[in-house]
Structure 1
């Protein structure tokens, strides 16, 4: 399963996996506690594959940022917590993405990325990043 099946829902903690589409929205399952809920089309939903992080020169897709974190952490959980202080989070993110735009990427955004990475790691979903990146690079070569 790729990042196009993983959602962040505004006002709800954690990440959700799409289980089924309905006429009025979707049935999703929490990656935190595996509970299923129905979300309507009116909910503010972000699909992880559509999220990008601002740098000084361009926007980097979230999957590339998650891959950089995975490389830095050797495939393990992050060395910091999403609950750490602003300075710790910014310092960590600067190591992962040295040219991120500090004016447009807020500490709350960094907190979410760290939390999402750890949640994807816990649910063994980071391996799908590798497959997505390989598929994308082979498409570009053709």
Structure 2
């Protein structure tokens, strides 16, 4: 499953798999417990494929960050827990993405990224490669 079907819903824990769209929003299934939720259009929803991380030069798509974590961890869970101290999280993230913008990427963002990565791994969603969207990534760089 690609990251364009995985959602983050503001105010709700974890990630959700997009099941279907409705007239008034959509139905998602929690990757944490499998419960289904109906989400209206008023909710603040982010699609993981549209999220990017600030670096000193450019914005790096979240799937590339996940791929770097996967390579660092040899396909297993992160060596640092998302509940670790701020300094540990920053040190870990610096190893993954050495040029990330420390002024615009907060410890809370790093916690989410680590938590999301581990949650995706638990649900066997591990294909973060760019093979499925080369044309997409080219067009987003121009914006």
TM range (shorter): over 0.9
Match of 1:136 in 2: 133
Match of 1:24 in 2: 24
Deviation track 1:33-65 (CA, whole Å, cap 9, x = no partner) reads 000010000000000000000000000000000
Q: Any stretches of 5+ residues in structure 1 without a counterpart?
A: none
Paired residues, what number? 137
Pairing of 1:59-98 with structure 2 (within 5 A): 59-98=59-98
CA distance in 2, matches of 1:102, 1:120: 25
Match of 2:109 in 1: 109
Give the SS at the match of 1:38. Answer: strand
CA distance in 2, matches of 1:10, 1:77: 24
Match of 1:15 in 2: 15
Two-structure CA RMSD over aligned residues (Å): 1.4
Q: Which has the higher helix share?
A: 1
Query: In the superposition, relative to structure 1, how do residues 22 and 69 fare at CA in structure 2: closer, same or farther (>3 Å)?
Result: same
Q: Any stretches of 5+ residues in structure 2 without a counterpart?
A: 138-143
Q: TM-score, normalised by structure 1?
A: 0.93
List structure 1 segments (4+ residues) > 2 angstroms apart after TM superposition.
135-140
Q: TM-score, normalised by structure 2?
A: 0.92
